[in-house]
Amino acid sequence: LTKQLPILKEYQNKATIFCADSAYAILAKHGIKPDYVCMLERTDFTAEFFKEAYEGIDGGITFILKSVVHPSTTSYLENTKRSFMLVSSKAHFMQYLSLNQFGYMPTGHSVANMNYILASLLKHKNIILIGQDLAYDEKGNSHPSDYKHSANFESFSYEYIKVRAYGNKDSFVKTHFIWNLFRQEFESDIQFTKEQGITTYNCTEGGARIEGSLEKPFKEVCE
């Protein structure tokens, strides 16, 4: 993600920006204002991504939270008067609660998958992915250098598996089974959205290949 931030900042007023909870602080630090920030995990650990508010950035952002998030998440947002809404997936328990008038939204397995689904539901015809390496970098880091919990936060948590690399069908990168699940979900969703006339560009410029997406430089696609 970090290498794409200067370009994203330059073009931020030309597109709708869907942001992961973990990237919210990173974008704010670089003066980039997302339109939507999504969260789906239920831990207090994840809630800490929203503990700090950013004056000059937060106004106009809608925080989209899966209804299972930790209570601290909504407390942090309410206490700083940030706008948010809760969404539920169509799980059996949620249907049992009979809150049908609020509707349901598929959220996928990761917050990035959730962002992609939201972008497609809002009828965006061109969706650009950045920061979706879904693999370890050449140094073995699992996250960007300015990630809240360190760049090597998940570097030694899982057994490595190899998948095809971005931009080169003959080379491979290391990932783990959870990231691979997220990648496969992207591939499934991309096939579905193609039928709706949506084009998906993968402008990560690194990491794992996401089949079905068009791999292009971020600058070129922005232009």
Dig out the tokens for 132 from the structure: 């979706």
Per-residue pLDDT tens over the stretch 145-193: 565 544 555 656 678 899 999 997 789 999 999 999 999 999 999 999 9
Give the model's confidence band at 53: pLDDT under 50 very low, under 70 low, under 90 confident, else very high.
Answer: very high
115 close to 65: Cβ distance less than 8 angstroms: no
In the chain, where are the structural domains located? 2-222
- Considering only CA atoms, which of 35, 32, 36 is closest in space to residue 8? 32
> What percentage of the chain reaches a pLDDT higher than 70?
92
Neighbours of 126 (CB within 10 A): 12
Per-residue pLDDT tens over the stretch 69-87: 999 999 999 999 999 999 9
**Minimum mean pLDDT range among 31-35, 89-93, 111-115, 149-153:** 149-153
Q: Is 221 exposed, middle or buried (0-12, 13-18, 19+ CB in 10 A)?
A: middle
78 close to 72: Cβ distance less than 8 angstroms: no
Q: What are phi and psi of 214, to 5 degrees?
A: -95, 120
Helix (H, G, I), strand (E, B) or coil at 198: coil
